[in-house]
Structure 1
Amino acid sequence: MASRTTACSTTCWRRSTYRMTDVRELETRIARLFAERLEVEVPSPDLDLFEAGVVDSLMFVKLLATLEEQFGFRLAFEELEIDDFRTVRHMARFVAAKRRSAEPGRVSASG
């Protein structure tokens, strides 16, 4: 019984570490997209981009198109939540979740 718990703990730790690493890598990629594609430097992954005036409505549309192109998914209007795009860190978590939901063997929420 103890070995089963240890194995689960190790597996769960590996998954969470992988996801954390994935999010960190995505943060770096998204910050690079801001710099290269949108010509905006983001000083911190936790900066509120809307509050700081970095992203306005036109930039937001350009940002969504860039994320779709770079990460290979389409965003439906119904799934857009402004808080998912407020910071680079939130965007990275959103993209990571989209990627996980698109993995083979996963069932999407829509059916």
Structure 2
Amino acid sequence: MRDPRDLEARIAQLFADRLQIDVPAADVDLFTAGIVDSLMFVQLLASLEEHFSIRVSFEELEIDDFRTLRQIATFVAAKQTAPAKARRVSTTGSHPAP
């Protein structure tokens, strides 16, 4: 498994590149600090799915998994080690991948 700090750094770079957000520290609550709002959260999910080739279903969506950069990295790492079927991303819109 990769170094968790490496994954945190890659996600921080994703925030900077895709969302134009500089995350001050890995353990800052992004929601209570006002860094991420509901619209940015949707953009974040789409960016994570695309960049890390993961799929986040509505059923597994827990806001606490996305409060801090560290928690996001933990979530992404878990998704990357999940069985391949759970990681597929649909590129055809709202239809699930086969």
Considering the TM-score relative to the shorter chain, is it more than 0.5? yes
Unaligned 5+ runs, structure 1: 1-17, 104-111
Moved over 6 A (4+): none
Does residue 10 of structure 2 align to residue 29 of structure 1? yes
Q: What is the CA–CA distance in structure 1 between the aligned matches of 2:37 and 2:45, rounded to whole Å?
A: 12
Match of 2:45 among 59, 64, 80: 64
Larger Rg: 1
- Larger % of helix: which? 1
Structure 2 SS opposite 1:36: helix
User: Percent same amino acid at aligned positions?
Assistant: 63
Give me the TM-score of the superposition, normalised by structure 1: 0.72
With normalisation by structure 2, the TM-score equals 0.81
Q: CA RMSD in A?
A: 1.5
Q: Encode CA deviations 1:78-106: one digit per residue, 9 max, x unaligned.
A: 00000000000000000001111136xxx
Q: How many pairs align? A: 85
Deviation of 1:74 (Å) = 1.2
Which structure 2 segments of 5+ residues have no match?
85-98
